[in-house]
Amino acid sequence: MKRFTLFICIALFSLVSIAEVQVGASRTNIYLPLLQGKRVALMSNHTGMVGDKHTLDILIENGINVTAIFSPEHGFRGTAREGEHVKSSIDEKTGVPILSLYDGKGGRPSDESMQKFDVLIVDIQDVGLRFYTYYITMVRLMNACAEHNKHVIIFDRPNPNGYYVDGPILDMKHKSGVGYLPIPVVHGMTLGELAQMVNGEKWLTDGKQVELTVIPCLNYTHQTLYRLPIAPSPNLRNMLSVYLYPSICLFEGTPVSLGRGTDKPFLCYGHPNMIHPSDGIDVKRYDFIFHPTASTQKGRTCYGVDLSGMSEEEALKKGFCLDYVIDAYKALNMDNFFFSVFFEKLVGVDYIRKMIIAGKTAEEIKATWEDDVKQFIIQRKPYLLYEE
C-alpha cells in the first residue's frame, strides 16, 4: 500500500506540539454530567494522566463515585512485567479497589465485580498495534459490559502510530492474547475509534453491542505526530522504540533477543551465533554486543544490531518492516527452526514464515497483504473520529 503522501504530511504536521492536543480525559465539561449519580469503574494505568494529575483523582475531586479500578497488563502503576499476573489490591491514595484482569481468571471480571458499577470508563495510552494488549483488555471488558448492560465511555487518546496502516489482517484461527481482532498489525486507529469499529462490526461475543460513548481528543488528526508524555509500558521507553516496536516485536516469535533486560529494549536485536553471519550478510553490522537479563537468550552474550542510533525520521519512514527479521533469519541459517509457533500469533498469518524460508524479500511479502490493507481502510472509515 502506498502510504499516500504520508511523509510529506509528516513534515507538515510534525510542527503540531503535544500541548495543542487535548486528550479526552481533559474534557470534564462533556463527561462529568454523564457520570452524576452513577457508580463508576475505571480501566486505566499510569498513563491515564492529564498534566500532572491522574484521571482517577480528577473524577474523585469532582465528586464522582469511583467504585472499582481495572488494571491491564503491567498493572495500575505500570511496573509489572509483560504477561505477569497482577493481584487485586487497593489504590493507596484513594482507597478504591483495584480489580486485576491478569489474576489467572482469563482476563474477564467476575459477575460479582460487574455488579459494582454502572459505567465503565476506559482511559489508557495505547500504541496502535494488534499485539499490544491494552486494546484486548478493553474489548474483553466491552464484552462483559454488553452482557451485563453497562455503559462504556472511552476517554480517547492519540495513537502515536496512527499515521499509517500496514501488515497482514489477523487470520482468526491465530486469535490469542496478542491478537484478538481481524485487523492489521498496525491498524492506525485510536482506542475510541477501534471501540466504535468493534461495536459497529459486531465483533463482540455473539454479535452483541454495548452502549458506547467516546470522548474524543481535540486538535488531533491521524497525521499528528503525537509524542507520548509517559512511557506506555516498561520496555517502550522513548519514541524511537514506539516506532520500531511493530517490526522488532516479531522477534518474540524467534530465538533472537530484542534487548529485554538491557537498556535498549526494542532498540536492538541479536543472538549468540550472530558473530558468524551467513553469506550475503554484512559482517560489520554484527558488532553490537549485549547481555539480556530477561526473556530470550537470558544471561548469554549476544551479537547483533544496535538500532538506537537510528533517527526517528528513518524509523517513521520504514514503518512496519520485515527486513530486520529476514536479516536475522539469513544470519543464523536455522531454516524453520528459527520460528516458534508464537511467530504466527504475532504476524497473524501462515504465509509470512513460508515466504521468508523461500527467500522472498520484505517488499515481495508486503505485496501479499496490500489489497487487504486497502480494504480494511475502507472498512474502518465509518468509525474514524479524526481526519486522515
Strands 151-155 and 211-215: parallel
pLDDT at 92: 80
pLDDT at 386: 98
pLDDT at 75: 61
- Mean pLDDT confidence for 144-160: 97
In a domain, 312, yes or no: yes
- Cα→Cα distances 257→23, 279, 309, Å: 35, 21, 18
pLDDT at 8: 28
Looking at residue 21, which CATH number applies to its domain? 3.40.50.12170
pLDDT one-digit tens code per residue, 153-171? 999 999 999 999 999 999 9
pLDDT at 18: 46
Together in a domain, 60 and 172: yes
Whole-number average pLDDT of the chain:
90
pLDDT one-digit tens code per residue, 309-356? 999 999 999 999 999 999 999 999 999 999 999 999 999 999 999 999
In this model, does residue 86 exceed pLDDT 90? no
Together in a domain, 326 and 194: no
pLDDT at 280: 58
Together in a domain, 216 and 247: no
pLDDT at 281: 62
In this model, does residue 11 exceed pLDDT 60? no
In a domain, 95, yes or no: yes
Euclidean distance between the first and final Cα of the chain, in Å? 15
In a domain, 333, yes or no: yes
pLDDT exceeding 70 applies to what percent of the chain?
87
Q: Which domain holds residue 263?
A: 239-369
Side-chain half-sphere CA neighbours of 95 within 13 A:
2
pLDDT at 384: 98
What is the number of domains present in the chain?
A: 2
pLDDT at 85: 52
Together in a domain, 185 and 51: yes
How far apart CA 126 and CA 129 sit, in angstroms, is 8
- Mean pLDDT confidence for 27-53: 97
Together in a domain, 105 and 35: yes
Q: 111 vs 231, which has greater pLDDT?
A: 231
Together in a domain, 199 and 92: yes
pLDDT exceeding 90 applies to what percent of the chain?
80
Together in a domain, 186 and 245: no
Together in a domain, 19 and 110: yes
In a domain, 275, yes or no: yes
For residue 107, name the pLDDT band (cuts at 50, 70, 90): low
pLDDT at 90: 84
In a domain, 211, yes or no: yes
User: Residue 317: phi, psi to the nearest 5?
Assistant: -65, -40
Q: What is the pTM of this model?
A: 0.90
Q: What are the beta bridge partners of residue 215? A: 155
* 15: CB partners within 8 A, 6+ apart: none
How far apart CA 127 and CA 135 sit, in angstroms, is 9
How far apart CA 383 and CA 140 sit, in angstroms, is 19
Closest listed residue to residue 64, CA positions, set 25, 90, 92, 114? 25
- Among 67-81, 175-189, 357-371, the least confident range: 67-81
In a domain, 388, yes or no: no
For residue 277, name the pLDDT band (cuts at 50, 70, 90): low
How far apart CA 235 and CA 373 sit, in angstroms, is 28
Together in a domain, 141 and 55: yes
Together in a domain, 224 and 257: no
In a domain, 374, yes or no: no
Together in a domain, 29 and 171: yes
How far apart CA 73 and CA 180 sit, in angstroms, is 15
Number of C-beta neighbours around residue 189 at 10 A: 25
In a domain, 30, yes or no: yes
- Among 44-53, 141-150, 281-290, 296-305, the least confident range: 281-290
pLDDT at 381: 98
In this model, does residue 73 exceed pLDDT 70? no
Together in a domain, 163 and 274: no
SS3 for 121? strand
For residue 26, name the pLDDT band (cuts at 50, 70, 90): very high
